[in-house]
């Protein structure tokens, strides 16, 4: 089996020693090349080249941003239809970031050493699974995407890349973006096939549950969402403090069941379209893509094979 290990040396919990241990362990089971990324988009370019060269496995060692780039590279030539695109390399993940939402949703340990052991065992036992992904405006996402408040938060954090990301940094960015939204709060119109359009001010789209993590605590917006279902929609028609507090509290409950009069929610959705009255921030997997006035979200079942 031919494999490539893609390492982001700037990720929060990646180290040179950990990289070497991982590379040595993988090389005992596969024919391995190791690439360290040194610019934004590098992991995507490596994964795209791997797919074109017929590589069997690409392992991403970094945070959710690194994983997202690798996924988008693996599927870059699929035309949005992986099932019709022929062979696509399998994906392996060893978490190395701060949140590692995708890896944790797969059931991988947060500790890179433990995750490496689990990956090696999965390779030895040929343990793999097919997962569904989300596709939004040409960008694949593994766990979430959104327009409005959450994307404003991502954009604010992105401006402080010199700082190590943490739950505290995201909380401060969420508070600042709530009271001073950088692009205001233009109306968003959510359209789901077979339903009446809904006017909201922020919209979160999930591909799995949890939506994210606050430290070790899962943040759950669509508890029934998984890699085997369609997309989850969580949108709010108002952001007054009582509404926000209610849904934050519900999101942090172990048996979260989001409900409320300002909530627009959908589960297992194949398609979601969101139009904005003015440009708003748009994020996928915790990375700011840019500003949009319309985004179409599509659930793509069985999009990728993961070793886990």
Domain extents for the chain? Answer: 2-126, 144-301
The CATH number of 2-126, from 3.40.50.300, 3.40.50.2000, 3.40.50.10330, 2.40.50.100, is 3.40.50.10330
> Average pLDDT, stretch 120-127?
94
Which pLDDT does position 161 carry in this prediction? Answer: 60
pLDDT digits (tens, 9 = 90+) for 80-98: 988 777 789 999 999 998 8
* Residue 162, pLDDT above cutoff 60: no
Give the model's confidence band at 60: pLDDT under 50 very low, under 70 low, under 90 confident, else very high.
very high
> Average pLDDT, stretch 157-181?
82
The answer to whether domain 144-301 has CATH 2.60.200.40 is yes
* Residue 287, pLDDT above cutoff 90: yes
Query: Three-state DSSP class for 14?
Result: coil
Which pLDDT does position 73 carry in this prediction? Answer: 97
Which pLDDT does position 58 carry in this prediction? Answer: 98
Nearest Cα to 87, choosing from 67, 57, 111?
Answer: 57
What residues pair up with 136 in beta bridges, in sequence order?
139, 297
Nearest Cα to 154, choosing from 144, 13, 296, 136?
Answer: 144
> Average pLDDT, stretch 255-264?
92
Q: What percent of the chain has pLDDT over 70?
A: 99
Give the model's confidence band at 12: pLDDT under 50 very low, under 70 low, under 90 confident, else very high.
confident
For the chain, the average pLDDT equals 93
Give the model's confidence band at 164: pLDDT under 50 very low, under 70 low, under 90 confident, else very high.
low
Query: Three-state DSSP class for 137?
Result: coil
> Average pLDDT, stretch 278-301?
97
Q: What percent of the chain has pLDDT over 90?
A: 83
> Average pLDDT, stretch 16-30?
90
CA distances from 70 to 43, 46, 125, 246 (A): 6, 8, 24, 36
d(CA 20, CA 97): 17
């Amino acid at each position: 089996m031919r494999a490539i290990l893609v390492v982001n040396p700037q990720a929060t919990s990646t180290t040179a020693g950990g990289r070497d241990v991982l590379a040595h362990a993988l090389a005992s089971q596969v024919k391995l090349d190791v690439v360290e990324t040194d610019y934004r988009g590098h992991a995507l370019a490596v994964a795209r080249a791997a797919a074109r060269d017929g590589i069997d496995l690409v392992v991403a060692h970094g945070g959710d941003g690194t994983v997202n780039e690798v996924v988008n590279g693996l599927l870059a030539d699929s035309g949005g239809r992986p099932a019709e695109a022929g062979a696509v390399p399998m994906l392996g993940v060893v978490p190395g970031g701060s949140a590692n939402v995708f890896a944790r949703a797969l059931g991988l340990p947060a500790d890179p050493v433990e995750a490496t052991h689990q990956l090696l065992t999965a390779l030895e036992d040929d343990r793999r699974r097919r997962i569904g992904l989300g596709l939004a405006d040409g960008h694949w996402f593994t766990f979430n995407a959104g327009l409005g408040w959450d994307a404003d938060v991502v954009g604010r954090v992105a401006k402080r890349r010199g700082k190590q990301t943490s739950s505290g940094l995201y909380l401060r960015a969420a508070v600042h973006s709530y009271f001073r939204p950088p692009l205001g709060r233009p109306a968003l119109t959510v359209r789901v096939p077979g339903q009446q359009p809904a006017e909201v001010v922020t919209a979160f789209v999930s591909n799995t549950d949890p939506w994210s993590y606050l430290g070790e605590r899962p943040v759950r917006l669509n508890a029934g969402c998984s890699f085997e279902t369609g997309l989850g929609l969580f949108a709010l028609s108002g952001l007054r403090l009582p509404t926000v507090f209610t849904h934050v509290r519900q999101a942090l409950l172990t048996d979260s069941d989001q409900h409320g009069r300002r909530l627009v929610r959908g589960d297992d959705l194949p398609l979601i379209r969101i139009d904005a009255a003015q440009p708003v921030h748009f994020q996928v997997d915790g990375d700011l893509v840019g500003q949009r006035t319309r985004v179409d979200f599509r659930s793509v079942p069985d999009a990728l094979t993961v070793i886990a």
